[in-house]
Structures are given as C-alpha cells and as structure tokens.
Amino acid sequence: MTTSSSLEDRVTALGWLAHGGELAVALKGDRAKHSDIIWQLLAEAVETIDKTPDQERRWLTSGQRSGGWNMIGMTRADLIEIERIRLLSAMKPFDGATKYAPQRNDVDRALGVLSWMRWCNSARLPDRLTKAAIALARGGDQELVHRLYCPTRKPNRQNVHEIRTRTVGFILTGLKGDLGIVPAHGIAFQETYGGSRDAA
C-alpha cells in the first residue's frame, strides 16, 4: 500500500481522531464506535464553521461579506434601528455583539475534517451525498436531508442511516488509502505498518 501523506499529516489526523474519540465517548459511552468518531468530528466541524463570524470565514466563502456592526456607510437611523432590534431581542443596549471566537486549533481541525469529504467524490452522485451529509451533520431537517439525497424516494430512517454509513465508509477508506490510518482496538486509530511509513 502506498500513501501520499507526510508524517505530520498523519500525526495531525490521529490527534483529530483522538479528539473525536472523546466526543463519541461523551455522547455514547461504552457503545461508541469508530463510525461515531468520524461522525462526531464532522458534526463538530460543521458547527465550528457555522459559528465562525463572517469576517473570520471570509476566505472560506465567496460573494458578499458582512462588515459587522457600525460598518462604513451605515446611517444614524440604521444604527438606531439595530439597537431597537437588539433591545427587542433582550440584548443590553450597546452591549458588545455576542461572538463566537473559535481557537485556531478548532478552526484548523474543522477545515481538515471537512476536507475529508473529498473522499466522497468516488461515490455515485457525490454532490448529493456530500450535501446531504453536511445537512445531516448540521442537525438539519430530515425532510431537507431526504430531498438533497434521494428526492425520488419516500423519506424513511433507512435513508438517514445510509447517508451516515456511506459518508463514514468513504472517509475511513480515504484515511486508510491517503494517510495510512486504520481503526484499531476499541475506538482508537493507528497507522498501518508497511507502506505508510515509507511514504513520509
């Protein structure tokens, strides 16, 4: 087996997987499995990116970006209206905007884990699978997930299970093929021995 990763990439991925193990155990306890680790990492990654302020993720998305409150060009009337809305939303006047400030490691891990979705490109209709998996990881409406994944089928729980299983399967295959990382005893992951070390 040949892998195209560096030792640093493998060590980083193993660290992320260890973190995912903690998330899975916190959620499922002794029932946690390798698939739960992958899914919890994916769900956390989506949540981290979703909570990142617009200005922080401007390099992740294209199109128009928010300039934040008090941006150049806002009139006094605009600012008064914003403060009125904040009061109606039970926010204190002139209180700083509630911000989520992710740690750099959180964002790096989120982006790295989301990059694993590229391994779903070998699926039949990869766009459908990827969009449905991200919507599902976001905790999206089941009806939306079904429409994204299989618009011609009747919604059922089997479809949701299929999305998770296929997504995790492609990621596990990618981890093995590209990084030389495989599930180990319990809920741990380890490097495969042989080709993976030679590729560094």
Q: Is the pLDDT of residue 68 over 60?
A: no
Instruction: Tell me the pLDDT band of 157, cut-offs 50, 70 and 90.
Output: confident
Amino acid 86: pLDDT: 62
Q: CA torsion sign, 135 to 136 to 141 to 142?
A: positive
Neighbouring CB atoms inside 10 A of 151's CB total 8
Average pLDDT over residues 181-189: 93
Domain ranges of the chain: 7-52+102-195, 68-99
3-state SS assignment for residue 43: helix
Question: Mind listing the pLDDT tens digit for each residue in 71-107?
Answer: 445 567 766 666 666 666 555 555 555 555 567 788 8
Beta bridge partners of 182: 190
Contacts of residues 181-189 at CB distance under 8 Å and 24 or more positions apart, as own/partner, are 181/10, 181/13, 181/14, 181/17, 183/34, 187/21, 187/24, 187/25, 187/32, 187/33, 187/34, 187/36, 187/37, 188/18, 188/21, 189/14, 189/17, 189/18, 189/34, 189/37
Average pLDDT over residues 10-30: 94
- In 52-100, where does DSSP find H-type helix? 76-88
Average of per-residue pLDDT values in the chain = 79
SS3 content of the chain, % helix, strand, coil (to 5): 60, 5, 35
Instruction: Tell me the pLDDT band of 62, cut-offs 50, 70 and 90.
Output: very low
Amino acid 198: pLDDT: 41
The larger pLDDT score, comparing residue 170 to residue 90, is at 170
Are 137 and 43 a contacting pair, CB within 8 Å? yes
Question: Mind listing the pLDDT tens digit for each residue in 26-54?
Answer: 999 999 999 999 999 999 999 988 887 76
Residue 73 to residue 82: CA distance in whole angstroms: 14
